Amino acid sequence: MLHSFFNKTKSCLLAAAFAAPLMLGATNANAAGFYLQEQSVSGLGAAFAGQAAMPRDASIMYFNPAGMALLDRAQLNVGVHVIAPNVDMRDTGTTLNPGFVFAPGGSVGNNDGGSSTDATPIPNFYMAAPVSDDGRLWAGFGVSVPFGFGSEYDKDFFARFDSTKSVLKTIDFQPTIAYKANDKLSFGGGIIVQYADASLSSRTPIPTGTVPPIAVIQRDQRLTGSDISLGYNLGFTYDFTPETRLGVSYRSEINHTLEGNISLNGFFDVGGRADLDLPGIASFAVAHKFTDRLTGLAQANWFGWSSFSEIQAVRDDGVATPSVVQNYQNTWAFSVGADYELNEDWTLRAGYQFDETPTTDEFRTTRTPDGDRHWYAAGLTYNVNDKWSLDLSGTYIDVEEEAINLQRGAGANVVNVRAETDNAHVLIGAVAVNYKF
């Protein structure tokens, strides 16, 4: 019976090892969750207020494809955002389950993980042009990075059984069309071809005996996988008056099945797969010209994060892992801002955004040490001449402190992770070049 108990306990722990690395999160993502709003340098300067109703340049096709038909002529936009995040992890009582003990020389320890994130560039490219003689029909193409994160903690991090290294990258390729139906109404849409790639690591406690207290050793576990899936982007704009425009758009949910590899050092290295469901996003924006120079901006974004409800990995031999509950919640973000045309060469802008976190206290992890976010942004556009212009923007994001309270392992829930985030914030600097043909 002791042998049977040992084998069952070991099987549960190994099964949990498959699922634990899939706790996808966003230590350095810059919208709540792991969505990256940073897809337009000019939009960043106003904290993306009114973005779906404000066609400043070709980057409008990401936020609302209909706005492409409101541009004055063919043009391209090339930008990069450099994102420098920070979050400190504070142990508030992480413990080993009383039924287990670490093998000699091991302990949970109190290492805070060290610096978990680095400054990261996020590039984007957009090109748009009229394709009909009357200038009503437009076509465009965009390349963007809408979801992603990266973090790395020390190997003896107190919460290493939850995470040690996490990387998620996505790239969108978006062919887009737009049509200006009349002086008031424009609409558009695009196909999203999205590539996703993930690599997620943590440590796993493995039992070495059968009689309590059971000693455990520590091994590295890792999951890698990638996939290409399709989505879409739809939108319209409507000018109520020459001064007031409404913009509405929707980016669809995209469902991936990541195909790759699952390994546990010293035990197995096999093929596997896991589902990754990325949320749909709806945007509602208003832009109103108070004067010839001053435009007021407002926007509300809805994020369908409930699609990211659970994770389950499956080995190529058909062995399924226990479901890992994420329980992300649908959220809203609200922003206000303004553009001010100082003269024909310079445009200044600023904005504020409140961005809800989709994580909850019961399920927040060290991979997702997320909190509600407050954006403070400013930027400018300089028109070099009739063809060239330069966008510059900077943003500070204050992330509210949150608690982490979860259990890692299987069966007896080997490790209880207790932590709080501290000094969480993000700095963003961005530059873009626009060229009009």
Which tens digit of pLDDT belongs to each residue from 176-213? Answer: 999 999 999 999 999 999 999 998 888 887 777 777 67
For residue 409, what pLDDT is reported? Answer: 64
Rounded CA-CA distance 430/80 in Å is 6
What is the architecture of the domain spanning 2-436? Beta Barrel (2.40)
DSSP 54: -
For residue 9, what pLDDT is reported? Answer: 36
DSSP-assigned letters across all residues of 23-63: ----SS-SSSTTB---S-HHHHTTTTTTGGG--SSTTHHHH
Residue 77: C-alpha distances to residues 56, 81, 155, 381 (Å): 10, 13, 41, 13
For residue 411, what pLDDT is reported? Answer: 52
For residue 30, what pLDDT is reported? Answer: 56
Q: Which H helix or E strand runs over 182?
A: none
CA-CA-CA-CA torsion sign (430, 154, 416, 310): positive
* Domain range annotation of the chain: 2-436
Rounded CA-CA distance 176/193 in Å is 11
How far is C-alpha 299 from the chain's CA centre? Answer: 19
Segments in the chain below pLDDT 50: 1-28, 413
Cis, bond preceding 55 (omega within 30 deg of 0): no
Q: Are strands 100-102 and 214-239 parallel, antiparallel or unpaired?
A: parallel
Burial class (CB in 10 A: 0-12, 13-18, 19+), 133: exposed
DSSP 306: G
Q: Are strands 281-289 and 244-251 parallel, antiparallel or unpaired?
A: antiparallel
Rounded CA-CA distance 40/197 in Å is 23
pTM listed for this prediction: 0.87
Q: 313, 18 in Cβ contact below 8 A?
A: yes
What are the backbone angles phi and psi of residue 388, rounded to the nearest 5°?
-105, 140
Q: 253, 277 in Cβ contact below 8 A?
A: yes
For residue 435, what pLDDT is reported? Answer: 97
